[in-house]
Amino acid sequence: MLLFDKVTKKYDQDITALEDVYFNIDKGEFSFLVGPSGAGKTTLMRLLIREELPTSGDIFFDEINVPKIPRQLLPQYRQKLGIVFQDMKLLQSKNLQENIAFALEILGKETKEIKETTEYLLELVKLQDRRFLFPHQLSGGEQQRGAIARALANNPELLVADEPTGNLDPDNAFDVLTILRNINKAGTTVMVISHDKDIVNEMKTRVIRMEKGKVISDNKGDYDTIKKPKTPTHIKPKKEEKEEKKETEEVKEKKELEIDDRIKNLEPSILKKFVDAKINTLELIFNLTESDLKNLKITKKEQEILEAFVKDYLTKSK
Ligand code: ADP
- The confidence score (pLDDT) of residue 85 equals 84
Binding site membership of 11 for ligand 1 (Cβ less than 6 Å)? yes
How far, in Å, are 53, 147, 179 from residue 138 at the CA level? 37, 12, 17
- Ligand 1 centroid to residue 2 C-alpha, Å: 22
Residue nearest to atom 10 of ligand 1 (CA): 40
CB 208 within 8 A of CB 225: no
- Ligand 1 centroid to residue 37 C-alpha, Å: 9
Binding site membership of 193 for ligand 1 (Cβ less than 6 Å)? no
- Ligand 1 centroid to residue 10 C-alpha, Å: 9
- The confidence score (pLDDT) of residue 240 equals 46
The list of the chain residues with pLDDT below 70 reads: 88, 231-256, 287, 291, 317-318
- The confidence score (pLDDT) of residue 317 equals 62
In tens, the pLDDT along 106-115 reads: 888 899 999 9
CB 157 within 8 A of CB 62: yes
Binding site membership of 42 for ligand 1 (Cβ less than 6 Å)? yes
Binding site membership of 57 for ligand 1 (Cβ less than 6 Å)? no
In tens, the pLDDT along 236-262 reads: 555 545 555 555 555 555 456 788 888
- Angle subtended by helix axes 268-276 and 300-317, to nearest 10: 90
Q: Nearest Cα to 183, choosing from 205, 209, 161, 208? A: 161
Residue to mutate, 9, 34, 42, ligand 1, most ligand atoms under 8 Å from C-beta: 42
CB 203 within 8 A of CB 30: yes
Residue nearest to atom 20 of ligand 1 (CA): 43
Binding site membership of 45 for ligand 1 (Cβ less than 6 Å)? no
Q: Nearest Cα to 107, choosing from 92, 96, 118, 122? A: 118
- The confidence score (pLDDT) of residue 275 equals 85
- The confidence score (pLDDT) of residue 199 equals 87
What ligand 1 atom has the least distance to the C-alpha of 46?
6
- Ligand 1 centroid to residue 162 C-alpha, Å: 15
What ligand 1 atom has the least distance to the C-alpha of 16?
12
- Ligand 1 centroid to residue 195 C-alpha, Å: 17
pTM exceeds 0.85, yes or no: no
Residue nearest to atom 21 of ligand 1 (CA): 11
Backbone angles phi, psi at 70, to 5 degrees: -65, 145
- Ligand 1 centroid to residue 280 C-alpha, Å: 57
Residue nearest to atom 25 of ligand 1 (CA): 11
How many CB atoms within 10 Å of residue 239? 11
What span, in angstroms and rounded, lies between the C-alpha atoms of 21 and 56? 10
* E strands present in 78-157: 81-84
